[in-house]
Amino acid sequence: MKDGVNGVALAVFLFFFVVVTAMGFLAARWRKAENADNLDEWGLGGRSFGTWVTWFLLGGDLYTAYTFVAVPAAIYAAGAAGFFAVPYTIITYPLVFTFLPRLWSVAHKHGYVTSSDFVRGRFGSRGLSLALAVTGILATMPYIALQLVGIQAVLDVMGVGGGENANWFVKDLPLLIAFGVLAAYTYSSGLRAPALIAFVKDALIYIVIIVAIIYIPIKLGGFESIFSKAGAAFAAENPATGKPRGSLVPGADAQWSYATLALGSAMALFLYPHSVTAVLSSKSRNVIRRNTTILPLYSLMLGLLAMLGFMAIAAGVKVKNGQLAIPQLFEDMFPDWFTGVAFAAIGIGALVPAAIMSIAAANLFTRNIYKDFLKPDASPEHEAKVSKLASLLVKVGALVFVLTLDKTVAINFQLLGGIWILQTVPALVGGLFTRWPHRWALLAGWAVGMTYGTWRAYATPSATQDHFGNTNLIPLIGEKGYIGLTAFALNVIVVIVATFVLKALKAPDGEDLTRPSDYTADAGDPGVRAELPPATAGAPGGH
Amino acid sequence: MSEPPEHPPGRTAAQASADGHKPLLTVGNPVLTVPLIVAGACLAIPFVAMLWVDSYARLTPALIGIPFFYWYQMLWVLVSTLLTVVAYVIVRRREETVRRERHAGGEEG
């Protein structure tokens, strides 16, 4: 790390930050609706986004700064195992192709703002909807915190924040400012702010990746040399475990882990609240389907990005904290001004998802906790107000999380978040296709999956600590696999068995407010309005 | 190609399910046609290819110095995208056909 502050890089970084901030505030006027005081407007951008805006929004949302730092960092640490992010983002699109259009249709028809809204309408159970809302919020919070970690990594490498010896206030001041600004424009512009900023973010990211993937290998003597150096580094023994540090190809005993991590992560990706928020903000079914065919461009980028992990090894980047490997590689390799561009890409790459995630978590809180349990007669204006305040609280919470707890806590929770989100699949995805499961059975399955997943993850040592590993032996199969997927299988079994039992006992079934045709409705169909009237914000619910 | 009208069961089922007159299966359309099976296959193939890790867990042949394991999976990003496009075209045509037939059938909204 160079001594002191990298002035040129910092100036470029600040320039982009100011541009983006201005855009964030101006976004409030973009496609402004006449009546903007409701959740459809603030929390879903008026449900008006077309194919390209949705593409940028989802791309900006799913491929976060943390992804950009963590995926190459995983490759840097262990090699092939970290590459599962690529098959994961390949199979997620054919998967969501089958169910997201149905979610869009039913949500549009009934004015659902969150996935829990749908579950309540479908199964007539506020308890189930609450369980899923809490799961979503819990899984999102550490994810927001990790975006902050991404910004921190960049600031650290730039030498901003006064180094290790400065007092905590000076050290964290830049982060506080960045987040304060983010909170302010999210509050005033809602989902329109990240949607607009996503254009800048993605343009920067694409430029940086393309330059990096061409420029750095040339400097390092080509891919052949990069991979032979990386292969040698992975073969060396890790003194802590007595095993090789990693490998260029997953060995026979690591393939189940690789496949189950890819599958489980693919299933979870679009059930995160921030994904659902971005999906529901699009204006038609086909916008979503078209997006499943253009979003993989980001997966390709992710694959190229993963290559940077090998380059960091070949370039001899030595960092104690793996998260700093890529920012450090950039600073070592690029001229200062382009380092600034690259860091701006990562920094803005953190702001976009952080904004969407906080909006998504706020919507869940407002619709499925506040309105369902605390104030059933909340007007659409009141809902929007509560949601705005909740988005501030969520961000403050994430900030406190990062500033007071060790970074690994956020990473552990994010890992748990993935396991937890998977446990919402039976009610959410299952519910889109069938009404057969009983609401209490779904709740029981969720509880079992959550408990099992959390317990197993805690009991499993990871590469760096005694707890919070993500793969362990799968019962009956005897191979190591993703704990989240095992928990999900258990969840499904419980749902099936309990449904049979509850139906035999004639347990009272909840009311289903949806009709089969709602799941295929599209904008422009008879009875489906392209623009939702504000009244639908008070959707038909269980009250 | 799009659905030819010589599938009257498909049409009726789609109509009824779209109107919700009868409690039908909510899973898509019960009548499977060849294009729909093709679409399903297009969506299923990437799962088989990617989850069968042993089929690509090797170093050679390398491409411009990148081991097989890595470039092969990145190639699959493109292959699976093409397959999804095929599925999208098939599904969209089918939906348009169903919609046209419903309007032609004189349904009132």
Angle at B58 between CA B52 and CA B59, to 5 degrees: 150
Report residue A295 as tokens: 């979003």
| Contact at CB, A250 and B57, closer than 8 angstroms | yes
Please check whether residue B61 touches A, CB under 8 A: no
Please check whether residue B100 touches A, CB under 8 A: no
Residues 6+ apart with CB under 8 A from B12: none
Please check whether residue B15 touches A, CB under 8 A: no
Residues 6+ apart with CB under 8 A from B33: B3, B7, B10, B94
For residues A369 and B3, the model is more confident at A369
Residue B7 pLDDT class (50, 70, 90 cuts): very low
Can you give the pLDDT of all 543 residues of chain A as single tens digits? 445 677 888 899 899 989 989 988 888 887 777 676 788 888 888 888 888 888 888 888 888 877 778 888 888 888 888 899 899 999 999 999 999 999 999 999 998 999 999 999 999 999 999 999 999 998 998 888 888 888 887 888 887 765 555 666 667 788 888 888 888 888 888 888 888 888 888 899 889 989 999 999 999 988 999 999 998 888 887 766 667 778 888 888 888 889 999 999 999 999 999 999 889 999 888 889 999 898 998 899 889 989 999 999 999 888 877 778 888 899 899 998 999 999 998 888 888 888 899 999 999 999 899 988 888 888 888 888 899 899 888 888 888 887 877 777 777 788 888 999 999 999 999 999 999 999 999 999 999 999 999 998 888 877 667 777 777 777 777 778 889 999 999 999 999 999 999 999 988 888 888 888 888 887 766 556 554 443 333 333 333
Cα–Cα distance, B72 to B57 (Å, whole number): 10
pLDDT at residue A3 in the model = 52
For residues A314 and B13, the model is more confident at A314
DSSP A190: T
- Architecture of the domain defined by A9-30+62-507: Up-down Bundle (1.20)
Q: What is the dihedral of CA A437, A443, A449, A452, to 10 degrees?
A: -140
pLDDT at residue A541 in the model = 35
| Contact at CB, B67 and A225, closer than 8 angstroms | no
Residue of A nearest to B22 (CA): A516
Report residue A208 as tokens: 């940086």
- In this complex, which of A87, A249, A434 lies closest to B59 when CB atoms are compared? A249
Angle at A184 between CA A166 and CA A536, to 5 degrees: 145
- In this complex, which of A299, A434, A522 lies closest to B26 when CB atoms are compared? A434
DSSP secondary structure string for all residues of A414-481: HHHHHHHHHTTHIIIIIHHH---S-HHHHHHHHHHHHHHHHHHHHHSB-SSSSSB-SEEEPTTT-SEE
Cα–Cα distance, A430 to B27 (Å, whole number): 11
Residues 6+ apart with CB under 8 A from A121: A106, A110, A112, A512, A513, A514, A539, A540, A541
Which of A479, A487, A484 shows the shortest CA–CA distance to A257?
A479
Report residue A483 as tokens: 């704990």
Sign of the dihedral defined by the CA atoms of residues A8, A10, A13, A14, in that order = negative
A243 C-beta neighbours (distance < 10 Å), count: 8
Residue of A nearest to B46 (CA): A91
Report residue A351 as tokens: 């702001």
DSSP secondary structure string for all residues of A294-330: HTHHHHHHHHHHHHHHHHHHHTT---SSGGGHHHHHH
- In this complex, which of A223, A248, A306 lies closest to B64 when CB atoms are compared? A223
The answer, yes or no, to whether residue B109 has pLDDT greater than 50, is no
| Contact at CB, A227 and B83, closer than 8 angstroms | no
| Contact at CB, B65 and A227, closer than 8 angstroms | yes
CB A380 within 8 A of CB A537: yes
| Contact at CB, A300 and B77, closer than 8 angstroms | yes
| Contact at CB, A91 and B80, closer than 8 angstroms | yes
The answer, yes or no, to whether residue B19 has pLDDT greater than 60, is no
Please check whether residue B16 touches A, CB under 8 A: no
Residue B86 pLDDT class (50, 70, 90 cuts): very high
Residue of A nearest to B66 (CA): A223
Domain locations along chain A: 9-30+62-507
End-to-end Cα separation, chain A, in angstroms: 59
| Contact at CB, A250 and B87, closer than 8 angstroms | no
pLDDT at residue A409 in the model = 75
Cα–Cα distance, A345 to A329 (Å, whole number): 15
Single-letter amino acid, residue A262: A
Cα–Cα distance, A224 to A273 (Å, whole number): 41
How many residues would you count in chain B?
109
pLDDT at residue A168 in the model = 66
| Contact at CB, B62 and A93, closer than 8 angstroms | no
Q: Cα-atom radius of gyration of chain A, to the nearest Å?
A: 23
Residue of B nearest to A255 (CA): B53
**Taking the CA of residue B108 as centre, how many other CA atoms within 13 Å lie in the half-sphere pointing to its CB?**
0
Residues in chain A with CB shorter than 8 Å from the CB of B87 are 94, 97
pLDDT at residue B23 in the model = 38
How many residues would you count in chain A?
543
Residue B103 pLDDT class (50, 70, 90 cuts): confident
pLDDT at residue A412 in the model = 77
Which of A525, A541, A543, A533 shows the shortest CA–CA distance to A105?
A525
For residues B5 and A232, the model is more confident at A232
Residue B66 dihedral angles phi and psi, to the nearest 5° = -90, 125
pLDDT at residue A372 in the model = 87
Report residue A419 as tokens: 């396991």
The answer, yes or no, to whether residue B13 has pLDDT greater than 70, is no
pLDDT at residue A427 in the model = 94
